[in-house]
Structures are given as structure tokens and as C-alpha cells.
Amino acid sequence: MEQNSRAEKALLGSIINDPDLIESVHHVLRSDDFGSESNRYIWESVVQMNAQDIPIDPLTIASRLKGREISQDYIESLTLFRQTNPEIVTQYALDVKQGASGRRLLELGTFLGEQIYSGREPEELIQEAQKHLDRLSESGVKKSSSFHEGFLNLVKVLDDPSLAKESVRVPTLWKSIDKYLDGGLQLGQMDVIAGRTGMGKTSFATSLLANVASQKVPSLMLSIEMPEPQIVRKLLSSLCKIPESKLSQHDVGKDEWDVIFQKHKELSDLPIYIDDTSRTLYECLNSIRSHVRRYGVQFVILDYIQRVKAPQRDARYLEVGEICDDLADLAKRMQINICVLSQINRGVESRTSRRPVMSDLSESGKIEESASRIFLLYREDAYDYDSKAKGIAEVNIAKNRFGATGVAQMAFVKELTLFADLV
């Protein structure tokens, strides 16, 4: 702690001697990174004074801090720690930041100890601790950019699209969908796939999972609804064009086996991971983190949100709100895409038009607010077997924070649990 105190003094002393050095460190530090209250007030003052073009010296600082019981003598003593090299001053700032992280870890440990003895559930505390640790890991050097810098970067990309960060989007490989998504799913976002029971939500999700994984993008299926063998059957059915009923009834003939063996290597190389054991919000979040860190997972499907057990709140919509907030926050922090499956309210069944709208989402308010994109699935032949639209699914991109909305018509082969572009 003594070393950190010296870093704070050396940093402040250098800045008082040369206020221009603020520009090299102001993006590194927050005022609460200073362990000494006096040093914190001095830092806040010099930053404000520099922004207002007020001369900075021990006398003007002391005058500004009148009433804070910080003597001019103390401020003058800081100037003995003078350094003019911006790189060294930046290192002082990083040392202050590191010291702050150490203090916060100690505070977190004390807090957790107190909470354990107060009777809080360990699982809930683990999740809370993880959130704090995530914030700490992201609290390093962050430099903001000006509008001018952002404008120049945009102009460069418009002039040469190859300079754009391709990695931030993952194509679905469905042309009918990607045209609305500006090329694909966006990393750092949470999307929602919703529909009534029987519309093919899980089939849509597994088809999407296979398409994403086929591009060598590590993908995770978090299934609360279905056990692993059923997920594998759906994937195998759509990839090998073998009716799922044959797989579930163990009625696989020689021709089907030939196809499976032909595709064995392709299927084995797919970076798909399946977790059918996580049930609670904390288990799901921890599973996602673990798979991101161990396998580099970038795409996650959660089937489905209404089945996730969250910490008990006064109302279910508050629980769903917490689930949505935590998933969206995790997607942003880990720069992955999370697709959440959601049920549609039964009320749609009593309407003349059974096509869902966003207000039909169960606990719709929070889900709609948190999602970057919302896909609403509808099949006319789910209600009318003899419908002229047999084998056709409507995918309504009802919300798209980054582009156009609209309805894509897709082929749905129920026996193969397969969604595909219409030929």
C-alpha cells in the first residue's frame, strides 16, 4: 500500500509541475482509483482546472480545496515527486490503477465473507462475485475517441469496405435472413427467437447452430427444454437429411448409414458444444463463461428463457428482467452473440390472425427492451394441415436495432427439422 501511495504522490506531483501531462493519463484513471481521500480531491481539482484553463499550482489548488482540510504545504510536498517523461507518468497512473484493483479485491473478499455469514445462498454470491470480477478485469486503460476520429474511421470503411471488422458479424447462411441483418448476427448482442409451441423454434435454432458452426465458429447449445440426445438427433437429421423419426426409433437403414459415414468427419469437426444440465440463471451464465474461455465460443443458443430459474423476486416479470439484463450484459462483455428462445403468449390463439407480434412475448416488456433483434416464427400449416402455405415458415424480423425489419419466407421440412432458404 505504501508503494501505491508513492505512485499517487508521484503522479500528482508530476501533473502539478506540468499540467499538460494530464492528457496522457486522464483516460486511465477514475477519481475513486485513489486510495487517499486527499489525493482523490487533488486529482479531481487539477482535472477540472485543466478543463477550465485555470492555472494549476499549489496555491490555486489549495484555494479550490478550501474546506477540505488539505494544506498547501502537503500540495507543495507533492511537487518534489516530479517527472516529465509522459511514459513514466503513465506508468505511475497504471500503478495507481493496479493498487485500486487490489483494494477492490480485498473489499470484495470482506463483502463475501459478511454475506456468507448473513445466510446468503453461495450460488447467488458466486454469481455476484463473478460480475464484480468481470468489471475489474475490464477496468484497465480505456481511451475515448472523439467524434472527429469516429468520423474519419467511418469514411475509411466507406471508401474501403475491406477495412471493416468482419469478425463482429456471423452470417446465418440464409440469404433471406442475412439481407435484413446487414450480413449476419452481431457479436456483443442478445437476440430473441420466439413463437408458439409447434412453430419450430428449436428446429430453427438447431439449423442456425449448424450453419454458424459450419463456418468454424465455436457454438454452444444451452438446452433446458431438450436432453442432449434429442438435440443431437435434430442436428443429425437436418445435416444428413435423415428423418428424425428414423433416428428416434432406431430405424436407420443402410442408405442412411452410408450418409452418416460419409459425413462423419464433417460432423465431427463441427465446433458445437451442448449443455443440457444448466437450469438456473447462475448455472447458465457460468456455463457460457466457461465455454467462451475454454473453447472460444462466440455463438450461444439458450432454449428457452421461460424455463430458466432465476433468484425469486416479487413477480415473474422481474425475474425474466434480471435474466435478460444478465444475458445481454454478458454478451456485451464477452463479445459473443446469445440467441434466446422465448414462448409466445397463448392469447394469440384466440385472435383471427394468429401471426405473433412483439407484445405477444411472454413477459414481453423486458425481453423486447433487452433484445437487439427479435425473430417471430409463424407457420400457417401448424393450424391448417391442408394450407396452401404448407412447408413454408414466416420469420418476422420484428425488431432490428441495427437495420431493417421485415418478413422472410423460408422452407421448413418438419421431418428433417430443417429450415432453409426457399429455392
> DSSP class of residue 340?
E
pLDDT computed for residue 146 by the predictor: 55
The model's pTM: 0.65
pLDDT computed for residue 396 by the predictor: 93
Phi (first) and psi of residue 373, to 5 degrees: -140, 145
pLDDT computed for residue 208 by the predictor: 93
Query: How far lies 379's CA from each of 165, 174, 395, in Å?
Result: 36, 18, 9
- Which amino acid is present at 374? I
pLDDT computed for residue 141 by the predictor: 44
Q: At a CB cut-off of 8 Å and minimum separation 6, what does 212 contact?
A: 170, 172, 173, 185, 219, 299
pLDDT computed for residue 299 by the predictor: 94
pLDDT computed for residue 157 by the predictor: 61
Q: At a CB cut-off of 8 Å and minimum separation 6, what does 421 contact?
A: 174, 175, 176, 410, 411
* pLDDT digit string (tens) for the chain, length 423 residues: 555 678 888 888 888 888 888 877 777 777 788 888 888 888 888 888 877 778 888 888 888 888 787 888 888 888 887 677 777 878 888 888 878 878 878 877 787 777 777 777 777 777 677 766 666 655 544 444 555 566 666 666 666 665 555 447 899 999 999 999 988 999 999 999 998 888 888 889 999 999 999 999 999 999 888 888 888 888 888 888 888 888 888 888 888 888 888 877 777 888 999 988 887 887 888 888 889 988 899 999 998 888 888 777 666 777 777 888 888 988 988 899 999 998 888 777 777 788 888 888 766 677 888 889 999 999 888 888 778 888 888 899 999 988 889 999 989 888 888 888 887
- Cα-to-chain-centroid distance, residue 258: 41
Strand 392-400 relative to strand 373-378, pairing: antiparallel
299-303: strand order across its sheet = 272-275, 219-223, 299-303, 337-343, 189-195, 373-378, 392-400, 406-413, 418-421
* Domains of the chain listed by start with CATH number: 2-137 (1.10.860.10), 166-421 (3.40.50.300)
